[in-house]
């Protein structure tokens, strides 16, 4: 029998009264690096004290080894194949998905969030239900400067939000991003070292301690449920995994999960049962005495808190689509039940986590019956899942937004990573070679992408060609190579590589937009417009494609069509200053002077010192005064 859904069952009595909730999510944090989980690599006294004063779950499994989909599960209680968010930087959480914040807001709680990473920007859907959502604001300079915030900034924001809501019932979410690569440590200059990573975890612990101290100083400690959970871990070179995202070993799947507050029973308890991040939402709502979410993947852990021997579902699902999306290697799914963990890919694996917690010995040949049973459980889990939440039509990232995402080490959306018009079972059978067999090559690819970010183009090209020699149809590697060639001024070679990439992945709108941009540089206006039009067939709201068509049609003297596309950009995102300015110029040429003046004014409202817009406005006003 499948161990999951149908709406959370009700167990026992809810705690009396409704209290505050402080949810702390710790990004890229391995459970085994916390002292309370037996870690010795770093000191984490504040998280350890949280465990001493509350409850520690020894075996909490995340649903995804990527930040955005994992947080979507935490906030909704839905697995990724239900809420529909499978990767960072792709489609947002649909508005139809009900979040914790929405339930608390409806119940009269003040809701607020302080975020540490652009990956969780409001455009990705998690802001729904929050009265105030303090994500990472864009700043001038390099994309990396506006892509993340250190723990002290997140803590400062969270403390301010706490003080503002100290007289109200509140639901506050604080997200700490510090242990994410590159690991910044004053003692260890190697930004990829395990020692630097440990220092980042320790630094984050200090800021969490400052937040918890602030809670106590405000007199809110006894009336606040504190929940701390990780979104995923980090490879740290185990299983040849450089960071995270490609594999679903315990290094990345197991996450810390701590709770402290009213209704939890005896302090200092440890619960050994398998639990999931999908269980957080129903558990928090039951503890807070609020209505349950319907048809979700998780179950409330309240009965487990009351009696650890309670027979709750003891299985967990996790996934990654990154190998397929980027390199056309097979997707990976895992199914954990009790001591056994089954990894489903082209070459399945089975591990006994009790005797082999490091997942070093594949037992599938010795235990075929166990593997077969877990395989069928996994299939049944997907077959019996509720329908996926209806996805919203979203505007893809602008070039600037993509740059912010990629400065964090993530690759923007690639088409067909998981098509929306196919069922989950349609993709159940692995497609492509097994990613585990190409761990070293994946590492080469990651190093090449890092070299691109640092401007080491020759090094990047060498690494990308090594990848493509083995995986010639890897769409992201082809697109990255074309980008490198373009940066080197080798426009003809770049065009040929873009053509090759589009043969492999014809629905990759981003590659088409990049190719169109190259064609614009070569003054091939009609060819550029053709690529942009094809991109819009896949993503009708693609801002960059509309921007290119606006520029191309203007140069082809098709001014009305150019206006139409730039007007679309203005509707989708009025903050895109370059397009708003170009639209103002077009209106001026078309003698639509009032419209031109409005465009220039909107540009100056965003960038008051933008001299071309100042000049355009002066010229327009002179005409209007005649």
pLDDT in tens, 455-491: 999 999 999 999 999 999 999 999 999 999 999 999 9
Mapped onto helix, strand or coil, the DSSP state of residue 604 is helix
Residue with tokens 């049944």: 380
Kindly tell me if the per-residue pLDDT of 244 is higher than 80.
yes
Q: What is the mean pLDDT of residues 86-98?
A: 89
* Between residues 148 and 475, the one the model is more confident about: 475
* pLDDT of res. 263: 73
Confidence at residue 294, expressed as pLDDT on a 0 to 100 scale: 87
Q: How far apart are CA 340 and CA 373, in angstroms?
A: 11
137 and 276 in a single domain? The answer is yes
pLDDT, position 404: 61
Q: How confident is the model at residue 419 (pLDDT cuts 50, 70, 90)?
A: low
**529 domain-assigned:** no
Q: Looking at 84-98, 242-256, 328-342, 363-377, which range is the least confident one?
A: 84-98
Residue pair 78/388 in contact (Cβ under 8 Å)? The answer is no
- Specify whether 146 is located in the same domain as 280: yes
Question: Would the pLDDT of 10 be above 50?
Answer: no
Task: Say if 353 falls within a structural domain.
Answer: no
Q: Tell whether the model's pLDDT for residue 14 goes beyond 50.
A: no
Whether residue 258 has pLDDT greater than 50: yes
Distance of CA 287 to the CA centre of its chain: 27
Same domain, 311 and 434: no
String of DSSP letters for 89-154: TSSPPPTTS--HHHHHHHTT-EEEEE-SBGGG-GGGSTTTT-SEEE-----SS-GGGGTB--HHHH
- The reported pLDDT for the residue numbered 5 is 43
Instruction: For residues 234 and 136, state if they share a domain.
Output: yes
The pLDDT score that the predictor gives to residue 430 is 93
418 pLDDT band, cuts 50/70/90, is low
Do the domain assignments include residue 45? Answer: yes
Say what the pLDDT of residue 417 is: 56
Which of 293, 319, 338 is a domain's end point? 338
Residue 143, pLDDT above cutoff 70: no
Whether the predicted pLDDT of 163 surpasses 90? yes
Domain boundary among 311, 338, 365: 338
Band (9; pLDDT cuts 50, 70, 90): very low
Domain range enclosing 492? 426-502
The residue out of 306, 338, 370 marking a domain boundary is 338
Q: How confident is the model at residue 397 (pLDDT cuts 50, 70, 90)?
A: low
Cβ neighbours of residue 75 closer than 8 Å, sequence gap 6 or more? 93, 99, 100, 101, 126, 281
Q: For the residues of 305-347, what is the DSSP string, one character each?
A: HH-TT-----EEEEEE-HHHHHH-PPPEEEEEETTEEEEESSS
Look at residue 139 and tell me if it is in a domain: yes
**Looking at the structure, do residues 331 and 472 belong to the same domain, yes or no?**
no
Mean pLDDT rounded to a whole number for the chain: 90
The answer to whether position 137 is within a domain reads: yes
What per-residue confidence (pLDDT) applies to 224? Answer: 95
Is 235 within a domain? yes
Specify the number of domains making up the chain. 2
The verdict on 185 and 287 lying in the same domain is yes
Least confident interval from 184-188, 325-329, 389-393, 542-546: 389-393
| pTM score | 0.90
Query: Among residues of the chain, what percentage have pLDDT more than 70?
Result: 90
Cβ atoms of 324 and 417 within 8 Å: the answer is yes
Per-residue pLDDT, 429? 92
291 found inside a domain = yes
What is d(CA 43, CA 317) in angstroms, rounded to the nearest whole number?
31
- Between 12-21, 412-421, 457-466, the lowest mean confidence (pLDDT) is in 412-421
CA distance 384 to 504: 33
Does residue 328 sit in the same domain as residue 448? Answer: no
Say if 286 falls within a structural domain.
yes
| CA dist., res. 216 & res. 263, Å (int) | 18
CATH number of residue 68's parent domain: 3.40.720.10
Residue 477, domain CATH: 1.25.40.10
Examine the domain organization and report whether 443 and 330 are in the same domain: no
Same domain, 328 and 440: no
Residue 201 has a pLDDT of 97
Mean pLDDT of all residues in 56-81: 96
Same domain, 333 and 432: no
């Amino acid at each position: 029998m499948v161990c999951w859904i149908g709406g959370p069952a009700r167990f026992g009595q809810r705690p009396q009264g409704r209290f505050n909730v402080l949810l702390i999510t710790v990004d890229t944090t391995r459970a085994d690096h916390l002292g309370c989980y037996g870690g010795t690599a770093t000191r984490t006294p504040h998280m350890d004290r949280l465990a001493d004063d509350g409850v520690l779950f020894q075996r909490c499994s995340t649903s995804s080894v990527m930040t955005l989909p994992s947080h979507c599960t935490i906030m909704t209680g839905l697995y990724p194949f239900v809420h529909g968010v499978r990767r960072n930087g792709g489609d947002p959480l649909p508005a139809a998905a009900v979040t914790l914040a929405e339930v608390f807001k409806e119940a009269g709680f003040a809701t607020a969030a302080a975020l540490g990473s652009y990956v969780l920007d409001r455009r990705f859907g998690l802001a729904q239900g929050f009265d105030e959502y303090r994500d990472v604001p864009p700043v001038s300079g390099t994309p990396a400067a506006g892509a993340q915030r250190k723990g002290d900034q997140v803590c400062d924001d969270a403390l301010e939000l706490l003080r503002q809501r100290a007289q109200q019932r509140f639901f506050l979410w604080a997200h700490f991003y510090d242990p994410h690569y590159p690991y910044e440590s004053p003692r260890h200059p190697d930004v990829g070292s395990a020692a630097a990573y440990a220092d980042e975890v320790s630094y984050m612990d200090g800021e969490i301690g400052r937040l918890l101290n602030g809670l106590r100083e405000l007199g809110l400690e006894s009336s606040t449920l504190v929940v701390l959970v990780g979104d995923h871990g980090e490879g740290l070179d185990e299983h040849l995994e450089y960071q995270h995202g490609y594999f679903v070993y315990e290094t990345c799947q197991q996450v810390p999960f701590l709770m402290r507050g009213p209704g939890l029973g005896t302090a200092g308890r440890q619960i050994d049962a398998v639990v999931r991040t999908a269980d957080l939402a129903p558990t928090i709502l039951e503890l807070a005495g609020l209505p349950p979410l319907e048809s979700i993947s998780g179950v409330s852990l309240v009965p487990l808190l009351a009696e650890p021997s309670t027979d709750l579902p003891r299985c967990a699902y996790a996934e990654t689509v990154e190998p397929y999306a980027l390199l056309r290697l097979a997707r990976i799914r895992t199914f954990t039940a009790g001591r056994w963990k089954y990894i489903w890919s082209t070459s399945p694996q089975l591990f006994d986590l009790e005797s082999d917690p490091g997942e070093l010995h594949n037992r599938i040949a010795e235990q075929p019956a166990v593997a077969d049973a877990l395989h069928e459980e996994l299939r049944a889990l997907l077959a019996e899942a509720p329908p996926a939440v209806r996805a919203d039509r979203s505007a893809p990232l602008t070039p600037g937004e993509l740059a912010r995402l990629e400065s964090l080490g993530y690759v923007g959306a690639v088409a067909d990573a998981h098509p929306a018009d196919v069922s989950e079972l349609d993709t159940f059978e692995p497609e492509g070679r097994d990613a585990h067999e190409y761990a070293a090559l994946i590492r080469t690819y990651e190093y090449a992408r890092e070299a691109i970010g640092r401007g080491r183009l020759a090094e990047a090209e060498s690494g990308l060609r090594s990848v493509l020699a083995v995986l010639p149809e890897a769409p992201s590697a082809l697109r990255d190579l074309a980008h490198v060639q373009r940066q080197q001024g080798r426009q003809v070679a770049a065009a040929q590589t873009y053509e090759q990439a589009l043969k492999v992945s014809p629905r990759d709108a981003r590659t088409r937009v990049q190719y169109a941009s190259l064609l614009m540089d070569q003054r091939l206006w009609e060819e550029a417009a053709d690529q942009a039009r094809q991109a819009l067939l896949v993503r009708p709201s693609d801002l960059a494609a509309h921007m290119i068509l606006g520029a191309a049609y203007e140069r082809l003297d098709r001014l009305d069509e150019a206006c139409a596309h730039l007007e679309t950009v203005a509707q989708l995102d009025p903050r895109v200053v370059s397009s708003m300015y170009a639209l103002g110029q077009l209106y001026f040429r078309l003698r639509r002077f009032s419209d031109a003046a409005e465009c220039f004014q909107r540009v100056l409202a965003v960038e008051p010192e933008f001299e071309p817009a100042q000049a355009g406005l002066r010229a327009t006003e002179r005409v209007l005064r005649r």
